[in-house]
Structure 1
Amino acid sequence: MSRTKLSALRIANNWEIEDVANSLEISADEYAKIESGKARLSMDIARKLSELYRIDPEYFFTHEAVAIHRNEGQGSNSNSGYINTYNNNGNLTELFEKLVHELKKR
């Protein structure tokens, strides 16, 4: 898990580590470890993060770059809100399902 992805999402939303941790119902210390790469991102936390940020959970398990654009307020254009993009070559859903299956075995 790239710590840059989690940090970028949090910063783009003007949230502190404590804000995200509270939303996930975990301690700020636990979330900080996940964001810094010192702890692994669980499927449950990835699901909660995907709901929080309104993105696909598979995003957290890919290496593709993501552009996050937040255009709000007076004078914004019709693209207000989030614009999340990534290269989905059709195999990401299959990969995500395989990861879920493997994790359930453990």
Structure 2
Amino acid sequence: MKTLMFIFCISLLVVIGCKKANENLYQSEGVITGYDYRMCAICGGLEINIKNDTSKNPPPFYEINSSLAQLGISENTKFPMNVSLNWKHDTGVLGSYHYITVSKIMVIK
């Protein structure tokens, strides 16, 4: 009986410890095309095209109000760069100007 209980406990631990191998860690993929050099009061930051954007009437590109260094990306990285990212629409004043907030990002090589 003890052996049967031991085997059951080990099997239960194995089942609980298993994870799916193909979990998607990022919600979207995109291409950072470069810095926005337009001359206006609300321009600036990085321009990004999000590939699988499900927003209603998405803009041609979004703005990220951060530098590459602030995102943890080397300043020597060449544009355009493919990235995976987690993001949401900016809820502040810049949100109506297609700015997004990036919570997690990784460059795809």
Scaled to the shorter chain, the TM-score interval is under 0.3
**TM-score (norm: length of structure 2):** 0.26
**TM-score (norm: length of structure 1):** 0.26
Which structure: larger Rg?
A: 2
Greater strand share, structure number: 2
